[in-house]
C-alpha cells in the first residue's frame, strides 16, 4: 500500500509517494525512544471493571512527557531529520498536545521549533509550549489554514514540517504504545480482546492498531470520537474520507481535525474499520469519573475512549479491554467545571 501526501519541507503542495509504517518501524521507534519516553503504566481498577462489566485497563499516556502520547511520534520523527536539514529547525501545527510534544523533542535534540496554534487553544497548552522553548504563531481555526501557514514558515526558514499524524515516522512512534500494551498484558497472562482509542487525524489509532495487531492479530479495535466530529466512523461506513461540517464546537479540543489523514485512513480502515462516538456530556462524566474514582486528571479529548466505554459503546461485557488515556493537558477552569457538573 502506498499513499500520496503533501510535501513536508516545501511551501507548495507536492505529491510524494510513501510507504506506510510497518511493525519493524514500530520496533525501531521503540529502540529510539528507550530511556527518552516514559513507559506509561496500564491502570486497572475494580471500580472501573464493575462500571463496565469487563476487565478494563487504561494506558495512562497522561503520564507521558508533556502530558500526552504526542511526544512519542514527535521525537521519533525529529530524531530522523537529516543532519543537513537540522539548522532550519522544525515547524508544527497543533491545538496543543502535538505542539508540546514537538517543542519538547526539539529542545532535547537541540533544534529550533515554531508551532502554529489556534488562538482558541487552551491557555495552558499555549503557555506550556512556549515554556518548552518554542515560538508560537497563533491563527484563526475557522478562517485560516494551519497547514498552509506552517508550509509558508518552513519555506521561509528552511525548516522541516513535523505533521501531527500524517507521517509514517509519527505513526510508528505512536505505535510503541500498542507494543507496550501487548507486552504489559502478557506479563499478567492476558491479551487484549478489545482496544478503544480516540481518533482525530488517526495517527494514534493507526499506530496503536499496528503495534497491537502485529502481535495479537485477533484483537478488535474501535475508534472513539466526539458526536458531530465522527469523521473517521463515517469514513469507515462510506469507504472514503469524510469531512466534519464544523471546525469547532466540542469540549474535546484535541479531536477536531476536519478529516482523516491520507496515510492514516487506509491503515485504520484495514486494521480497525469500526467507530463509536460520545457526547460532550458523556465525556464530562468520564473526566469526572477518572478524577473521583481513579484519581487521574484527563483532558476531554484524552477521555473519549473511556467515555464511550462508560456509555456502553461498544459492548465489551466479559472482555479484556484497553482504552488509551491520551492526554491530561486541561485548563484548570475547564477541569473544575467538568468535575463539578
| CATH number for 81 | 3.40.50.1100
Q: How many domains does the chain have?
A: 2
Measured distance CA(339)–CA(330) in Å, rounded: 12
Place of cell 486528571: 297
- 301 and 188 in a common domain: yes
* The predicted structure's pLDDT at residue 96: 83
266 & 179 share domain: yes
Domain boundary among 161, 192, 217: 161
Report the C-alpha gap between 233 and 314 in whole angstroms: 13
Regarding whether 63 and 146 lie in a shared domain, the answer is no
Beta carbons of 319 and 55 less than 8 angstroms apart:
yes
In terms of domains, do 262 and 113 share one?
A: no
pLDDT value of residue 141? 84
Identify the pLDDT of residue 339: 94
Domain boundary among 161, 177, 201: 161
Which residue range(s) make up the domain with 28? 17-69+167-340
How many other C-beta atoms can be found within 10 angstroms of the C-beta atom of residue 108? 15
CB 7 within 8 A of CB 147: no
* Burial class for 79, CB neighbours closer than 10 Å (0-12, 13-18, 19+): middle
Identify the pLDDT of residue 9. Answer: 35
Q: Are residues 93 and 204 in the same domain?
A: no
Classify 322 in phi/psi space as left (phi over 0), alpha (psi -120 to 50) or beta: beta
Q: What is the pLDDT along the chain (341 residues), one digit of tens a residue?
A: 434 333 333 333 344 478 999 999 999 999 999 999 999 999 999 999 999 999 999 999 999 999 999 999 999 999 999 999 999 999 999 988 999 999 999 999 999 999 999 898 878 889 999 999 999 999 998 899 999 999 999 999 999 999 999 999 999 999 999 999 999 999 999 999 999 999 999 999 999 999 999 999 999 999 999 999 999 999 999 999 999 998 889 999 889 889 999 999 999 999 999 999 999 999 999 999 999 999 999 999 999 999 999 999 999 999 999 999 999 999 899 999 999 98
DSSP string computed for 98-155: HHHHHHHHHHHHT--EEEEEETTS-HHHHHHHHHTT-EEEEE-TTTS-HHHHHHHHHH
**Same domain for 92 and 212?**
no
Amino acid at each position: 500500500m502506498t499513499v500520496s501526501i503533501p510535501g513536508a519541507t516545501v511551501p507548495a503542495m507536492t505529491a510524494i509517494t510513501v510507504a506506510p509504517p510497518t511493525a519493524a518501524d514500530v520496533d525501531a521507534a521503540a529502540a529510539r525512544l528507550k530511556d527518552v519516553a516514559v513507559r506509561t503504566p496500564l491502570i486497572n481498577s475494580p471500580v472501573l471493571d464493575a462500571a463496565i462489566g469487563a476487565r478494563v485497563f487504561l494506558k495512562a499516556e497522561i503520564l507521558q512527557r508533556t502530558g500526552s502520547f504526542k511526544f512519542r511520534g514527535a521525537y521519533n520523527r525529529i530524531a530522523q531529520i537529516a543532519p543537513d536539514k537540522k539548522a532550519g529547525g522544525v515547524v508544527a501545527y497543533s491545538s496543543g498536545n502535538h505542539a508540546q510534544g514537538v517543542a519538547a523533542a526539539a529542545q532535547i535534540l537541540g533544534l529550533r521549533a515554531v508551532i502554529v496554534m489556534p488562538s482558541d487553544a487552551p491557555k495552558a497548552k499555549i503557555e506550556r509550549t512556549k515554556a518548552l522553548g518554542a515560538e508560537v504563531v497563533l491563527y484563526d481555526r475557522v478562517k485560516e489554514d494551519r497547514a498552509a501557514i506552517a508550509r509558508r514558515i518552513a519555506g521561509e526558514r528552511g525548516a522541516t514540517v513535523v505533521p501531527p499524524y500524517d507521517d509514517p515516522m509519527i505513526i510508528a512512534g505512536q505505535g510503541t504504545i500498542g507494543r507496550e500494551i501487548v507486552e504489559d498484558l502478557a506479563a499478567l497472562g492476558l491479551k487484549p480482546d478489545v482496544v478503544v482509542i480516540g481518533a482525530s487525524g488517526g495517527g494514534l489509532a493507526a499506530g496503536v492498531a499496528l503495534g497491537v495487531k502485529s502481535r495479537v492479530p485477533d484483537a478488535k479495535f474501535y475508534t472513539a470520537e466526539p458526536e458531530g466530529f465522527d469523521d473517521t466512523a463515517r469514513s469507515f461506513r462510506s469507504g472514503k474520507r469524510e469531512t466534519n461540517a464544523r471546525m469547532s464546537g466540542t469540549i474535546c479540543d484535541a479531536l477536531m481535525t476536519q478529516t482523516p489523514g491520507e496515510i492514516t485512513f487506509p491503515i485504520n480502515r484495514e486494521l480497525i474499520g469500526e467507530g463509536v462516538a460520545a457526547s460532550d456530556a458523556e465525556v464530562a462524566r468520564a473526566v469526572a469519573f477518572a478524577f473521583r474514582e481513579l484519581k487521574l486528571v484527563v483532558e476531554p479529548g484524552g477521555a473519549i475512549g473511556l467515555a464511550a466505554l462508560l456509555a456502553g459503546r461498544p459492548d465489551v461485557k466479559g472482555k479484556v479491554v484497553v482504552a488509551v488515556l491520551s492526554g491530561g493537558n486541561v485548563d484548570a477552569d475547564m477541569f473544575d467545571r467538568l468535575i463539578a457538573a
